Every structure is written in structure tokens, then in C-alpha cells.
């Protein structure tokens, strides 16, 4: 969204165990409360030096940037706000089916401290040992069936658009959220993986095309 708006920024990378401390220091509020009652701080988050605003949650960040910088291209083009809220809710709720099958491939991409944190917190979240989170056998097949059905539905919605993006030819928040998931699949499983191969081929290659159509906005070190 920052790239869409061509706003200057600096990216600060934070290890998982440091997110709470760094957020507190920067005045960024927690997004949620954990089941044990402690605050749950998350990335991404922004601090806007121009206004002092400190915000977490990608949706709220995009809303803030639209209202604070109204002269820049909108993450939520006028008239699409309600539609995008509905899409985001649906997509977010359903993309969660990808999590259990991806978790085992994630620690290998993390630093030692983040990997340890990830193993520990995911085991708590799923209520089972980390190496038992990923589905196997019939359960794994069912998960893939669910993923295909989900992406078929998203593709049918995209198919109704007059352009390559959800709102015609203008990229908006919805496209960035879908592309973010596709990019995660590519990075987490790797370009040579069978899983990435599946995503490349489903829905006539629509998702790889979406990534390539949004490549100009994908840089995170502007």
C-alpha cells in the first residue's frame, strides 16, 4: 500500500520474540489479547513520523493511509470500501486452511530465536506438538480439496471484474492480500516445490499472473 501511494518509508525487520518489546517501545498498540490475557503484538505495523500515529493490523494501516494521505492512490477506491471489507473477512477466515499444511516449512526460513518462538507458540495455538500440526493422509487430501474450492471461488469473483484486479484495472487492498498469500506460498514452499507447482497451474495460472501484475509494488525496502 505504501508503494501504491509512493510514500517514502523505512522497513524495520523484527524477530518474532522481539515484536512485543519493539512495538511497546514504538507506542504501537497490540492487535489482540491472547487466550492467557496478555496482549498480542503483531507485524506489520507502522509508525508515521509525520503525525506520530502508530498502528498495527494491515487493514487498519491501509485505512489510515487512505485517510491521512487522500491525494495518493487509494487502497480502498471510493465506493468499494464495503465490498473490500466483506472480501477481506471472507478471505482471511478461509486462508487459514493453508496454515496447518504450511507450518512445518516455515522454521527453516527463520533465525534460531524466531524458529524457537514459532515452534513454541504454534504448538500452543493448535493445542498439539508442533510436528503433529500438519495434516496427513485423508486429512491432507481434504485440506487440498478445500484450498482448491476456495481458490476456484476467488477466481470466479476475479472473473467478474472488468480488469485483471478485483476492482477493474486498479490494484487495491484486496489484490494485495491475495497476492500476499500467493507470495507466501511461493517463498515458504519454494519455487521448485510441488505445492508451488499446484498454485501455478490452478485457475489457468491466474495467481502467478496476479503476482506478476503486482510485482512493481512488491519491493519492501523503498
Ligand X SMILES: N[C@@H](CCC(=O)N[C@@H](CS)C(=O)NCC(=O)O)C(=O)O
Binding site for ligand X (CB under 6 A): 16, 19, 31, 42-44, 57-59, 121
Phi-psi region of 57 (alpha: psi -120 to 50; beta: other; left: phi over 0): left
Query: Based on CB atoms, which residue is closest to ligand X, 28 or 166?
Result: 28
Residue whose C-alpha cell reads 503484538 in the numeric block: 41
Query: Based on CB atoms, which residue is closest to ligand X, 41 or 151?
Result: 41
- Minimum Å gap between C-beta 125 and ligand X is 8
Residue whose C-alpha cell reads 496482549 in the numeric block: 39
- Minimum Å gap between C-beta 57 and ligand X is 4
Query: Based on CB atoms, which residue is closest to ligand X, 185 or 203?
Result: 185
Answer yes or no: are the C-beta atoms of 132 and 103 closer than 8 Å: no
- Minimum Å gap between C-beta 42 and ligand X is 3
Query: Based on CB atoms, which residue is closest to ligand X, 22 or 83?
Result: 22
- Minimum Å gap between C-beta 31 and ligand X is 6
Phi and psi (nearest 5°) for 196? -65, -35
Angle at 20 between CA 17 and CA 23, to 5 degrees: 130
- Sign of the alpha-carbon dihedral angle for 44, 84, 67, 222: positive
- Minimum Å gap between C-beta 117 and ligand X is 7
Structure-block grid coordinates of residue 121: 507458540
Query: Based on CB atoms, which residue is closest to ligand X, 16 or 202?
Result: 16
- The rounded distance, in Å, linking the Cα atoms of 222 and 219 is 7
Total residue length of the chain: 222
Query: Based on CB atoms, which residue is closest to ligand X, 19 or 103?
Result: 19
- Minimum Å gap between C-beta 179 and ligand X is 14
Q: Which residues lie closer than 8 Å to 146 by C-beta, 6 or more apart?
A: 97
Angle at 64 between CA 61 and CA 65, to 5 degrees: 85
CA distances (Å), origin 28, targets 25, 54, 187: 8, 5, 28
- Minimum Å gap between C-beta 184 and ligand X is 9
Query: Based on CB atoms, which residue is closest to ligand X, 95 or 200?
Result: 95
Amino acid at each position: 500500500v505504501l508503494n501504491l501511494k509512493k510514500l517514502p518509508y523505512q522497513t524495520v525487520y523484527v524477530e518474532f520474540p522481539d515484536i512485543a518489546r519493539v512495538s511497546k517501545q514504538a507506542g504501537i498498540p497490540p492487535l489482540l489479547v491472547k487466550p492467557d490475557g496478555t496482549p498480542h503484538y503483531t507485524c506489520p505495523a507502522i509508525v508515521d513520523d509525520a503525525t506520530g500515529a502508530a498502528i498495527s493490523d494491515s487493514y487498519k494501516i491501509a485505512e489510515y493511509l487512505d485517510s491521512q494521505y487522500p491525494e495518493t492512490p487509494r487502497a480502498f477506491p471510493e465506493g468499494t470500501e464495503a465490498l473490500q471489507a466483506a472480501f477481506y473477512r471472507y478471505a482471511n477466515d478461509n486462508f487459514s486452511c493453508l496454515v496447518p499444511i504450511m507450518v512445518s516449512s516455515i522454521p527453516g526460513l527463520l533465525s534460531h530465536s524466531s524458529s524457537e518462538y514459532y515452534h513454541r507458540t504454534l504448538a500452543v495455538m493448535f493445542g498439539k506438538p508442533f510436528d503433529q500440526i500438519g495434516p496427513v493422509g485423508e486429512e491432507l487430501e481434504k485440506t487440498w480439496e478445500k484450498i482448491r474450492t476456495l481458490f476456484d471461488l476467488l477466481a470466479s469473483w476475479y472473473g467478474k471484474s472488468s480488469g485483471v484486479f478485483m476492482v477493474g484495472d486498479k490494484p487495491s487492498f484486496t489484490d494485495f492480500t491475495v497476492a500476499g498469500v500467493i507470495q507466501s506460498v511461493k517463498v515458504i514452499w519454494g519455487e521448485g516445490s510441488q505445492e508451488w507447482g499446484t498454485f501455478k497451474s490452478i485457475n489457468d495460472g491466474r495467481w502467478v499472473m496476479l503476482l506478476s501484475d503486482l510485482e512493481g509494488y512488491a519491493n519492501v525496502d523503498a
